Amino acid sequence: MTSPLLLSIFILTTFLTNFALCKTSCVMATGVLKCPTDPHAVKKVHIDLWDEDSLPLESDDLMGRTWSDANGNFQVTGCASDFGPINTPDPYIYIEHDCPHRYTNATDPIQIDVIPLFLPSIVRLGNIYLDRYLDDY
Architecture of domain 23-136: Sandwich (2.60)
pTM for the full predicted model: 0.77
Beta bridge mates, 71:
none
Question: For 9-32, what is each residue's pLDDT tens digit?
Answer: 656 555 544 455 567 889 999 999
- pLDDT score for 25: 86
pLDDT in tens, the chain (137 residues): 567 776 666 565 555 444 555 678 899 999 999 999 999 999 999 999 999 987 777 789 999 999 999 999 999 999 988 776 667 788 999 999 999 988 888 888 999 999 878 788 899 999 999 988 655 54
Best CA proximity match to 79, nearest among 99, 65, 94, 97: 65
User: Between β-strands 73-82 and 123-129, what pairing exists: parallel, antiparallel or unpaired?
Assistant: unpaired
- pLDDT score for 10: 58
- pLDDT score for 4: 72
